[in-house]
Amino acid sequence: MSDTLVLVTGGTGFIAQHCMIALLQAGYSVRTTVRDLAREGEVRSHLKVGGVDAGDRLSFVVADLGADQGWREAAAGCSYVMHGASPTPSGDQVHEEDWIRPAVDGNVRVLRAARDAGVKRVVLTSAFGAIGVGHPPMKRPFNETDWSDLGNPDVAPYQKSKTLSERAAWAFMAEEGRGMELTAINPVAVLGPVLGADFSHSIRLVKFLLDGQPACLKINSGFVDVRDVADLHMRAMTHPAAAGERFLAIAGESMWMVELAEVLRSRLGEAASKVPTRVMPNWMARLAAKQNSTMRSAVPLLGINLNATAEKARRMLGWSPRSREDAIVATAESLIQLGLVKGRDLRSK
């Protein structure tokens, strides 16, 4: 497969790097996009932590979701695209449009470049945020037929951006796809082995627990290991039945934060001695949110069950993820090994 080139966008991202590891291990050649070539060394270092020395089978192109430059060069000669690049506004970028416009325009920009380059299929990394937010409490698990309700004012800008950008991708394919295929992967909170100090919000949840945050919020989430998310991307890239489909990625049922904490304490022993067991009452969380922006974003999720099902991916693609408990433990162990947990550094042991 060394002559089969796959473009993975957003090469500094957690999921993207594990997708690159899976592709390289399977014998593909990989091209990835970064906004700054100065980060090439960091990406290669992370892949080595994941067990792959990419060498000349990995190349880099500068491209930004907010501009046309670079995308034609990035897609040229590629048979497949895994598109996971996503805007992450910070600093003074506080408006919804700073999240939404780059995500929507970026998806269309990548799809157009892929189509013009003759790419067979694009695998889009979407999110559970495009499926399961903004709804009233539901008894059934969410599935791929669901879309987040953007009429709910509590839907966060990130979740809006994932919903609108995925819808824009499907609309582009219907109107301008010209035979190219699209598959969407919608993972829940992604855990698993950390490759470096730049990691996602989902990983940060485990880190905060290990660091000894005061209590667990009454929030619920599904979890999945990043290695299984990469495996699902691989299956979606080549399986004939995956064309035109969405696939939720979740390992087992969703969990409350206190259940995640219990897994850490039972599986890690002394290494999880700071992990809290107390659940913060919802009224206290709402009070604290008045002074804490991070807490404020969690308030709409208090007490809401966000369970989902991956039955479709298991049935159609033969996907079989590792357990949510193993994903949690792998996350914690990698954070500790890399010295990213307060007061614990096992790198020399």
- Enumerate residues 6+ apart whose C-beta is below 8 A from 132: 142, 146, 148, 306, 308
- Dihedral Cα 54, 79, 14, 304, nearest 10 deg: -160
CATH number of the domain located at residue range(s) 5-199+222-253+307-324 in this protein? 3.40.50.720
Phi, psi of 168 (to 5 degrees): -65, -35
Say if residue 316 is exposed, middle or buried (CB neighbours under 10 Å; 0-12, 13-18, 19+). Answer: middle
Give the pLDDT confidence of 270-293 residue by residue, as tens digits.
Answer: 999 999 999 999 999 999 988 887
Give the pLDDT confidence of 64-87 residue by residue, as tens digits.
Answer: 999 999 999 999 999 999 999 987
Q: Domain segments of the chain: what residues?
A: 5-199+222-253+307-324
- Cα separations in angstroms, 150 against 93, 157, 188, 215, 303: 21, 10, 18, 31, 20
Which whole number is the average pLDDT over 215-219? 95
Q: Half-sphere exposure (CA, 13 Å, Cβ side) for 105?
A: 12
Query: Which has the closest alpha carbon to 340: 146, 142, 199, 154?
Result: 199
pTM: 0.95
- Cα separations in angstroms, 170 against 66, 247, 269: 19, 14, 46
Strand blocks (E) in the chain: 5-8, 29-34, 58-62, 80-83, 121-125, 181-187, 189-191, 220-221, 223-225, 246-249, 255-256
Q: How far is CA 119 from the centre of its chain?
A: 23
Say if residue 208 is exposed, middle or buried (CB neighbours under 10 Å; 0-12, 13-18, 19+). Answer: middle
Strand blocks (E) in 42-159: 58-62, 80-83, 121-125
pLDDT higher than 80, residue 294: no
- Cα separations in angstroms, 329 against 15, 51, 269: 18, 19, 11
pLDDT higher than 50, residue 346: no
- Enumerate residues 6+ apart whose C-beta is below 8 A from 168: 104, 107, 108
Q: How far is CA 231 from the centre of its chain?
A: 13
Contact 347, 196 (CB under 8 A): no
pLDDT higher than 60, residue 90: no
pLDDT of residue 3: 81
User: Could you tell me what percent of the chain has a pLDDT over 70?
Assistant: 95
- Classify residue 117 by its DSSP letter: T
Q: How confident is the model at residue 201 (pLDDT cuts 50, 70, 90)?
A: confident
CA-based R_g, the chain, Å:
20
Of 47-51, 98-102, 207-211, 243-247, the range with the lowest mean pLDDT is 98-102
Q: Which two structure tokens, joined as six digits, stand for 36?
A: 């700054």
Q: Is 162 a catalytic residue?
A: yes
Which whole number is the average pLDDT over 80-109? 82
Catalytic residue among 160, 162, 207, 218: 162
Contact 239, 312 (CB under 8 A): no
pLDDT higher than 80, residue 12: yes
